[in-house]
Structure 1
């Protein structure tokens, strides 16, 4: 296969994994979704069937996940509802270690007999696999937590809100866009509820109820006279929250440059869609960027994707070791770079941390999918690489004695493996606003929102676009730009970071469907940051051909 064909095909694959996958189960009714099929006592009884069966069959370790995954997806266009989908997936997955080797099996027969049969199948698979196992699995120790419960701290369950109310809100967003210059407007609302029960032979019985929500839209404007058209997508961030995220609060709004409104812990979809229509109209007559070196002022909804691709994925230990190479390859951040203790990942103000406990984030849970209590840990400290992301059977490779708590499976029927936690750039320590940052720029570009991107198979050389672009001259916004993308490599880019706004500007970006693995799985992850400035970055014009 030619490289150009390979890049095109893999690009389509990566892009596809960032697209919505609303159908993750069987169609159901909202009444059934709000019902509870099993109480916590019944779950524990089923878990004990699996654990006792595994131990009596020769397993040295076993865990079981009983999962109920609920999804609601609402889609609209202009003044019409295109679709409403409710789905449910319910079953259990059992993982065992026999003869130092993993075995896994899953079933949707959530009964004593069904669980026992699946456990015996997992044991048989482990025994068969052990014939080819070169080194036994080494699990980092984990605390036994007994019986615990963790819930996403929501204020309003989105599934309990009438569908008519949610549809009305989306149609209002469409109307706001159409009334302000949009030719087309579509909007969507995704809601997820993961009800997960985990138990293991280590002595933990963990019941978790996790909620996520994602409002989004796309508006486009066509200029009939010139035939030109432009589109602008939502500047929302998917969140680990309930429907309260859809109720805008004044204290959650930040006034951005060029009349932009930026959102933190709640979101005004009607206001954003209205502004999007005006910006799309403005883009049609905006000038095309002149290629060259610019100081870039990157807002969090944009910078989150750059963090995701250039820090989050390359610091996954399985990708570093070559165990994982799907969806854009392995990693330049090899083990020797960590062991040296001096590898310069970024400038001294760059502090990047992993944290699966961040309130409101997509990855926020109390415990991961192998019963490890989640925590925060540093990946890059003062610009120096200090750690990776590892789970229980990887920690010993780093010479560490505990998992980082970042193991996850997209459903009960998938085996859990190492997934990216929330990976975020710490805000600046000194008071510093977006306005102050722009005033300090002589020649630059302000970029907001996500756009097209590409990155090489070592997660090193990359190119990123965005949603909206504004030119900065002599400390002031002078107008909108088109055709902007910046090119750099991971080290060069993060070493060009010279200033970060303080915590007042700290916001979350999110990926609702981040793909990894083969067979592929998706997970939800957030990346926080404040607006940051990167000096002397190479900007190209994407509208010009060579």
Structure 2
């Protein structure tokens, strides 16, 4: 288990101690309260009070976010329920520009008086900042959309599903693992509903209802003779969907080494395979270090994309504004300005996309009221763009924002966050089996594992969940203790094939951290299985004594 997952899951299991740092958790509520909503007319009246107060006190621009953040999680271990909680956080965040500088203030006093007072505080902050500011804020133009709304496409609202049904599902999954010989197993179900209202002096009044779901488990088997143990985590992906994601009858899956989940997820089948594979890992041979061709499944590759493509193309990292939390970026503006910087091979086409249905980052409008879109970041291996928001757009010659501004809650200021960043499928028909047939010496890697990457997002090392040796075009058995090392440019230039769209799947992170004070966001990364030639593989087995 990765350190961050251990901390995350342990925190959930002991009372959700980590939860407030993730997505604006607040007070405990009755589950039925989560099904209530706030009248959009009331939100508009409140927003107008704040906008008018800001303008009348010297703001040249103002936006208001009224946010109601609902979270539900169920945590189990073996045959026990460790925790069930429903929380709500409700309040407003007001951002303004006055005298050319930003100001921000927030409150949970969601009344007209509270809105007006908070708007005045935001203006006061902006005017104070202006006394020490340098260049004034330059916002990319943004038309107002009037009164519009957007909702995550849902078949089944997770908050409407009885908690007993979720508990029963998780305990049944744990039972499958224990029956298969697991020594330990825990499972969780985490649901999020962000009810967000945005209004600005540009003339937008945007009401959004955003849903996300994350089922997961961890299975452990112990070898009492050797004193070792192995784990296998779920291959589920956190998604921007409702509870329909848990419908096994609608799963699209291919049985083989593992189960590949595309649009739906069968937790009972996944945990059955996981229990067997945890045992297989105990008996798997340790990898011989050397150069291998790597066949990387989307359940693994999403994390490599996230760390080596997603983060280094965030414009604030490129500019050095974001340095203390996970570093800056080697993809400096001079590389982009040439229009010729070779990031990867011609097979590498990466897009930013806030519109992909079912993804964690899918919304209609970002937290600056910009309609979301899709754009090229890497085209035929060449760096062509970054991820930018309204006050960054002019720096790279854009006339509009790319719509990737986000705040984790009403009480946090919005800033540039990663959109869904995805490797596009190959255009030539190619299956995973066909790809493997042409590999003489390789490793097939499934699932994400521990990783390390430097502060420039350049030199890295990645592990995984499952590793299979490939010999002369065939799977030759399971391996263990595998990690690969490369630098970002070398690695993506070694990409020689990407399977077609039939294999395209999403992975993602529910808790991607950034900023000071730190904020967390949810983001997906899609890809099809891809082949990387001649990558350096190391053996990670600990030597004792």
Q: TM-score, normalised by structure 2?
A: 0.96
Q: Could you say which residue in structure 1 is the equivalent of 2:58?
A: 58
* 1:101-500 equivalences in 2 (<5 Å): 101-249=101-249, 252-256=252-256, 258=257, 260-500=258-498
Structure 2, unaligned stretches of length 5 or more? Answer: 13-17
Compute the displacement of 1:35 (Å).
1.4
CA distance in 2, matches of 1:251, 1:293: 36
Q: Please give the secondary structure, in 1, of the residue aligned with 2:335.
A: helix
- Secondary structure (helix, strand or coil) at the match of 2:142 reads coil
> Does residue 518 in structure 1 map to residue 516 in structure 2?
yes
* 2:183 and 2:221 in contact (8 A); partners too: yes
1:82 is matched with 82
2:469, 2:477 within 8 Å by CA — same for their partners in 1?
Answer: yes
Q: Secondary structure at the match of 2:170?
A: helix
Displacement, 1:440? 0.8
Say whether the 8 Å CA contact 2:251–2:266 is kept in structure 1: no
User: What's the secondary structure of 1:252's corresponding residue?
Assistant: coil
Question: CA separation in 2, counterparts of 1:329 and 1:15?
Answer: 23
Counterpart secondary structure, 2:492: helix
* Contact 1:220-1:231 at 8 Å conserved across structures: yes
Count of paired positions = 533
Once the two structures are TM-superposed, the CA of residue 545 in structure 1 deviates from its matched residue by 4.8
Q: Which runs of 5+ in 1 are unaligned?
A: 1-10
In 2, are the aligned partners of 1:17 and 1:514 still within 8 Å (CA)?
no
The Cα shift of 1:451 comes to 0.2
Larger deviation: 17-26 or 219-228? 17-26
Call closer, same or farther: CA 1:301–1:82 in 2, change over 3 Å.
same
Deviations along 1:390-427, one digit per CA (max 9) or x if unpaired, are 00000001011110000000000000000000000000
For residues 4 and 471 of structure 2, what CA distance do their matches in structure 1 show?
39
After the TM superposition, which segments of 4 or more aligned residues of structure 1 sit over 6 Å from their partners? 11-15, 17-20
- The answer to whether 1:92 aligns with 2:92 is yes
1:58, distance to aligned residue in structure 2 (A): 0.7
Task: Kindly report the root-mean-square deviation, in angstroms, between the aligned alpha carbons of the 2 structures.
Answer: 1.5
Q: CA deviation at 1:543?
A: 0.6
> Counterpart of 1:49?
49
CA drift at 1:225: 2.2
Partner of 2:19: 22
**Structure 2 SS opposite 1:462:** strand
The alpha carbon displacement at 1:328 in A equals 1.8
Q: What's the offset of the Cα at 1:33?
A: 1.3
User: Take 1:418 and 1:462, find their aligned partners in 2: how far apart are those partners?
Assistant: 24
Say which SS state the counterpart of residue 239 (structure 2) adopts: coil
Counterparts of 2:251 and 2:51, CA distance in 1: 49
- Cα drift, residue 349 of structure 1: 0.9
DSSP 3-state at the match of 2:477: strand
Structure 1 residue 34 displacement after superposition: 1.2
| Whole-angstrom distance in 2 between the partners of 1:536 and 1:465 | 16
SS at match of 2:422: strand
Q: 1:250 to 1:206 in 2, by over 3 A?
A: closer
Determine if contact 1:17/1:515 at 8 Å carries over to the other structure. Answer: no
For residue 70 of structure 2, what is the aligned residue in structure 1?
70
